Amino acid sequence: MKRQMSVQYLARIAVLTALASILFLIEIPVVAFYKLDLSNLPVLLGAFSMGPAAGLVILLLKSFIGMLHSTSMYVGELADFIMGAAYVLPAALLYGRRKDRKTALWGMVLGTVCMIVVAVLVNWKIMIPFYMNAFGMPMEAVIGMATKVLPFVDTQWELLMYVTAPFNLLKGVVLSLLTYLLYKRLSPLLHVKR
């Protein structure tokens, strides 16, 4: 029985990882260098149905597979993993305490807030400095990408507050809404039968 459960568990992780990897390839440009993808939807579905550890495994595998077609020297995949974990872990941990729609919703709100904070910190300390060094871009060029859409953005702090934070809020809201609408419908397929 335990072997059968582990086979079902691994099969669900594999399917959700494959789906997340495919969705990772589909990006919708939003503003500056930020692109929206829905690859963390299967990650959160897996975390809600099989627990936070399964969600992290799916996220990690998706990131490794994403490295095969990386255009960011793997830093984009690292940032996606860090921000994905900041979103998925709080949501799944809270949902694991009480599995109902209200708790799921509050978990996703908490996850979205954590993702925004982590995204601002990761972009400030890792992403922006990396791209500046790797591509020889001055801060003015990085800010200039955002200025094309938002002319009032003219400092790194404004880039983080008016572009990075709202983008991650949008991403969190979209992922949360889709998860909220799909999870209960897909729940019978996602849960490992004991």
| pLDDT digit string, tens, across residues 111-164 | 999 999 999 999 999 888 988 888 888 999 888 888 888 889 999 999 999 999
In angstroms, the Cα distances linking 123 to 33, 67, 115 are 12, 19, 12
DSSP letter for 67, please.
G
List, in order of start, the domains of the chain with CATH numbers.
Answer: 2-190 (1.10.1760.20)
pLDDT tens for the chain, 194 residues: list them.
455 558 888 999 999 999 999 999 998 988 877 889 999 999 999 999 999 999 999 999 999 998 888 777 787 888 899 999 999 999 999 999 999 999 999 999 999 999 999 999 999 998 889 888 888 889 998 888 888 888 899 999 999 999 999 999 999 999 999 999 998 888 767 766 54
pLDDT at 137: 85
Please enumerate, as own/partner, the contacts of 55-64 that have beta carbons within 8 Å and a separation of 24 or more.
55/88, 55/89, 55/92, 56/85, 56/88, 56/89, 57/13, 57/17, 58/13, 58/16, 58/17, 58/20, 59/20, 59/84, 59/85, 59/88, 61/13, 61/17, 61/20, 61/21, 62/17, 62/20, 62/21, 62/24
Residue 58: which of 29, 34, 76, 84 has the closest Cα? 84
Under 8 Å between Cβ of 37 and 63: no
What is the residue-wise DSSP string for 2-59? Answer: HHHHHHHHHHHHHHHHHHHHHHHH--EEEETTEEE--THHHHHHHHHHH-HHHHHHHH
Model pTM score? 0.89
CA dihedral 37, 63, 176, 151 (to 10 degrees): -50
CA gap 30, 178 in Å, rounded: 18
